[in-house]
Amino acid sequence: MAGFDPARLNGVDLVDLASVGHRHQAPGFDPRSGEGARRFGGRYNPPRSFPVIYLCLTRLCVAAELTRQAGRQSVQVEDLLPRELWSIATDLGRVLDLTNIQSALQQLSSRPTWFARETVSPSR
Q: Residue 116: pLDDT band by 50, 70, 90 thresholds?
A: very low
pTM above 0.75, yes or no: no
pLDDT surpassing 90 at residue 13:
no
Mean pLDDT within 71-88: 96
pLDDT surpassing 50 at residue 34:
yes
Q: Which tens digits make up the pLDDT trace of 36-74?
A: 999 999 888 899 998 999 999 999 999 999 999 999 999
What is the residue type of 67? T
Mean pLDDT rounded to a whole number for the chain? 82
High-pLDDT (> 70) share of the chain, %: 74
